[in-house]
Amino acid sequence: MEFPDIDLLAQRVLRQESVALTAATVDAVNAFKEPSTDSPRQRDKEWVAGRAHEELLEGAFNIGAEAVATLLMSADDHRQAVAELLESDRMIPLPAMTCARD
């Protein structure tokens, strides 16, 4: 029985992960900036509109969007680190800093 090339398989998985992360990032940005009708984001925008402290309320939602962006960037940082590890002949620990970001 012949086994598949693990390095090739890993590279393919990482490429697929890159495509998926890019698509998720684009979808998240679009959903936040131009929400579809009756989406949670659209309902949030309607709820905030015209309220006292509208700017502060919108800022709170912006912080949530920033958290989503940070998680997506962290996932991509992890993907890049795994790719680097696979290309190296040397075994080094995967940096955990991206996992600890807030």
Distant-in-sequence, close-in-space partners of 51: CB < 8 Å, separation ≥ 6: 57
Q: Exposure of 45 by Cβ count < 10 A (0-12 exposed, 13-18 middle, 19+ buried)? A: middle
- Domain boundaries in the chain? 6-100
DSSP state letter for 102? -
For residue 33 the two structure tokens come to 């900036």
pTM for the whole structure: 0.69
Whole-number pLDDT of residue 3: 79
Q: How confident is the model over 18-31, as a mean pLDDT? A: 92
Give 37-68 pLDDT, tens digit per residue: 999 999 999 999 999 999 999 999 999 999 99
Q: Are 81 and 12 in contact (CB under 8 A)?
A: no
